[in-house]
Amino acid sequence: MQSLVLRRLYSTKPPVGLPEAARIARTTSTPLAVRLRRRKKFGPTAVGVSDSTPEGLTPTELARYKRLRATGQLKVIEGEQVTEAQWLERLDERRSRVRGLKTVERNGVEETEVVGRRVYLPNIILRLVRNNTLEGEPYNPYEATFRIPKSVTKTDLRSYLLAVYGVQTTYIRTDNYISPLFPRLGNKRKAFKTYKRAVVGLVDPFYYPRRIEDMPTAEREEREKWIEDTYQIQATRSLQKYELLRMTKGQAKGWKFKEPLATKRSHILRLVAERREKREGLIIDQAREWQEMRERGESITLGKLKSSSDKSITPPTPEQSSVPATAN
């Protein structure tokens, strides 16, 4: 049991070989830069087909095997070159080698000793989340996505999944998500918004629980009822609202917006109508005055117009000047 826990196996070498579905999932989740490079060199790969050889070599491993064979760096077994299957088997054995252990002899008995310091009760949280599935594409059960601390490496995650859950992985790809800068905090980042994502390839399929939005109506209602009965989410929210209202009751008694400063639509429309009526009234009065001046035979000069306009225009009151200009 000790060797199972401390040994980090590279699980592309399961007892019965890697399933074809896992190979297809490995091809589908290849990084974009690698897919474009392979597409340019070998052509496009059909959907639902793996780009690995029948022996299980990826295009990268196959190119490395051919390069070593051409340079004569492959070992010769019984006078013959190492085949692709033999080379992959040796490669997996090297990946599956025992790390962190050494064999010592005490009193004529060989014992396995751990190299380094053991870590007890590690303070890390690995969060399993749903895979990122594009619209119209099926869910990939041969992948699992985790949000892990930035200090956790691929080797740590592979060892953890194997030792604790017995989960075999075919590949692990990680990427870091950096929190944006927040000007209110002095252009600082929020630590809890910065995380590391790990996409893990699985040998055995794993189906994430179905979302509530994807369930049928009866099943969704039953699920929501179970969640409410178990966790009391809506009841807790209602209780919080009630407590907030109870704590703030009576503190703002009699407080409300005054009508000139109100933001209700009816108040704004009434103020606009009053301004328009006053402006139109000034124009009518001015036109009537000019008509009377023509009837009396008086000439309309610029000085008379300026003096009459100064008399008709009165300065706005403080309440009128405080009305937003957008209301007009």
pLDDT 10s digits, 80-116: 778 888 888 887 766 655 556 678 888 888 887 766 6
| Choice between 174 and 32, residue whose per-residue pLDDT is larger | 174
**Token pair 């077994």 in the structure block, residue:** 77
Whether 82 contacts 75, CB under 8 Å = yes
Helix or strand holding residue 169 (H, E):
strand 169-177
Closest to 126 measured CA to CA, from 108, 152, 90, 105: 152
pLDDT category of residue 48 using cuts at 50, 70 and 90: confident
Residue 221 confidence (pLDDT): 92
Residue 194 confidence (pLDDT): 83
pLDDT category of residue 261 using cuts at 50, 70 and 90: low
Whether 38 contacts 51, CB under 8 Å = yes
Plot region of 77 (φ>0 → left; ψ -120 to 50 → alpha; else → beta): beta
pLDDT category of residue 9 using cuts at 50, 70 and 90: very low
Could you tell me how many residues make up the chain? 328
State how far the Cα of 55 lies from the Cα of 52, in Å rounded to an integer: 8
Whether 255 contacts 263, CB under 8 Å = no
- The mean-pLDDT minimum among 1-5, 32-36, 162-166, 268-272 falls in 1-5
Residue 225 confidence (pLDDT): 92
| Choice between 12 and 69, residue whose per-residue pLDDT is larger | 69
Residue 11 confidence (pLDDT): 41
Closest to 196 measured CA to CA, from 180, 219, 173: 173
Closest to 181 measured CA to CA, from 197, 200, 194: 194
Average pLDDT over residues 150-178: 85
Average pLDDT over residues 165-175: 86
Collect contacts of 203-212 with beta carbons under 8 A, ≥24 apart: 203/11, 203/14, 203/18, 203/19, 203/22, 203/142, 203/168, 203/169, 203/170, 204/167, 204/168, 205/21, 205/141, 205/142, 206/141, 206/142, 206/144, 207/139, 207/141, 208/128, 208/130, 208/131, 208/139, 211/130
pLDDT more than 70, % of the chain: 76
DSSP tag of 210: P
10: pLDDT strictly greater than 80 = no
Q: Reduce the DSSP state of residue 272 to 3 states and report it.
A: helix
Average pLDDT over residues 12-24: 65
Per-residue pLDDT tens over the stretch 182-232: 777 777 777 667 889 999 988 888 888 878 877 889 999 999 999 999 999
**Mean pLDDT, the chain, whole residue set:** 78
| Choice between 262 and 167, residue whose per-residue pLDDT is larger | 167
312: pLDDT strictly greater than 70 = no
Residue 163 confidence (pLDDT): 76
Residue 184 confidence (pLDDT): 74
pLDDT more than 90, % of the chain: 11
State how far the Cα of 186 lies from the Cα of 117, in Å rounded to an integer: 40
Closest to 192 measured CA to CA, from 179, 174, 175: 179
